[in-house]
Chain A
Amino acid sequence: MVAGSARKLMTQMRRGAIEYCVLALLRDRDRYGFELTKALSAADGLVTSEGTVYPLLARLRQDGLVDTSWQESSQGPPRRYYRLTDDGRVALEAFMLQWKTFRDTVDSLMDGGERQ
């Protein structure tokens, strides 16, 4: 295994995980697009650019995991808010469970490997 393939794997894992990170950001409250992209960009190395979040949101909406509504804003015009649907909540919970197991398993093997 060379360094290049580890990088490729990380890219793929990031791509897969980021959708669930969006769902997680919507778990406790609705957010508008600009707010979501800000939160995701603040997380180091997760998204390459703010704009790529929107195709992802479109995909989540198409899959019925999020939906949108217009909400009044205290300043300026109303905003398009994203909301987690019931299906989205189920998908997020399922992912979190599997992710934790996966993460712990990999971590323990990595730690064991280091100790040898």
Chain B
Amino acid sequence: MTRTDVDGIVDEYLHRLDAALGPLPAPRRQQLVTEITEHLDEARSEIPIETEAAVRELLDRVGQPEEIAAEALADQPGRDRSSRRGLVLGLVGLAVLLAVGLTLGLALSGGGSTPTATSVAVPNVLGMSTDQATSQLKSLGEGVRIAQSPNGPFPAGLVVSQSPPVGVTIPRGSVVTLYVASSVPATTTVTSVPSSATSTSTTITYPVAP
């Protein structure tokens, strides 16, 4: 069992969740997927050895994506939005995220983003290509995790969201998750870590039980 296999299972789960949340407006869907991703990261950090069984059990506790989606859609009036409106809302959502991120960044860094030896402010890599974003983050010493986001109107390969968001101060060497727009339907599991980022992803091999 390698770390990458476990990542694949988690990514597949997040794809199912994203697909199940389809009827939600893009910003709300993105928000939920981001928060569940953060939850999974926390939960995974508590597992001593990430076996496939351990990760599957963890996902069971989090629940079926369809069940989470049902809860999310319960209070969602069945309005039908034209795709144009969806796009506008998506863009407004991104702009708001960006503004909030910048404000937070300014507040946290006390007006200027002065990176110290141990911490760094998350740069804005929204709208960049995956390679561009990865190399910028790596130049700051950050690890990068790529998650595919089947995110409607945006061209494939562009970073549509990032976690933690822009401007937040994080310890040097932490991992920033990039959500990359994918033209691939949500059912396909793709974890494309570009060659430039391979050096940051560790592959741990566990002894195989006889």
Contact = CB atoms under 8 A, between A and B. Distances in A.
Contact of A33 (B39, B45, B72): B39
A32 B28 CA distance: 19
Interface residues of A, number: 24
What secondary structure prevails in chain B residues at the interface with A?
Answer: helix
B142 to A, nearest CB: 10
A70 B34 CA distance: 14
A51 B38 contact: no
A34 B171 contact: no
A72 B169 contact: yes
B68 A78 contact: no
Contacts of A69: 104
A54 B67 contact: no
B66 to A, nearest CB: 10
Contacts of B61: 41, 49-50
Contacts of A34: 38-39, 42-43
Interface residues of B, number: 31
A104 B31 CA distance: 39
B203 interface: no
A51 B108 contact: no
B35 A49 contact: no
Contact of A70 (B31, B42, B104, B171): B104
A32 B36 CA distance: 12
Contacts of B168: 70, 78
Contacts of B71: 52, 55-56
B60 to A, nearest CB: 8
Contacts of B193: none
Interface of B: 28, 31-32, 35-36, 38-39, 42-43, 45, 61-65, 67-68, 71-72, 74-75, 104, 108, 164-165, 168-171, 174-175
Interface of A: 32-34, 37, 41, 48-52, 54-59, 69-70, 72, 76-80
